[in-house]
Amino acid sequence: MPKFKYKVRIEPLTPEAQKNWGSEYRFAVSFHKEYGDSLGWSRCYKTGEEVIRAFQRIKEEWEGYDCILGRQSDRVTMANLDFQSSTKGISKGDLFGQPRLL
């Protein structure tokens, strides 16, 4: 089992990506579950609030039934989430509703 069970990466959109997505998009985000059904996705978002809402949605999916494991998945916590952000707009604490925590 990997040290971290879940992964979130947040990067600012490159100028090339902004040409494709639109200049109002600011964040390129990938979400990935590191075991079982490996559920995840990558997408661009306009605001930090959109990123946080997307995390809440995928967190619910991650914690649901995993057909590969044949059981409910493990709860997503700050300890088992590998979080990396190249932006100053969103912290790991923000994802969990604790904005003062990095």
**pLDDT number for residue 9:** 98
The number of residues in the chain equals 102
| Amino acid in position 82 | D
Distance between CA atoms of residues 37 and 17, nearest Å: 29
pLDDT score for 51 = 96
By the 8 A CB rule, do 42 and 8 touch?
no
**How does pLDDT run across 78-94, given as a tens digit for each residue?**
999 999 999 888 999 99
pTM metric for this prediction: 0.90
In this prediction, residue 101 carries a pLDDT of 57
Residues 56 and 78: their CA atoms lie apart, in Å, by: 13
* Residue 100 amino acid letter: R
Identify the pLDDT of residue 70: 93
pLDDT for residue 100: 67
Low-confidence ranges of the chain (pLDDT < 70): 1-2, 100-102
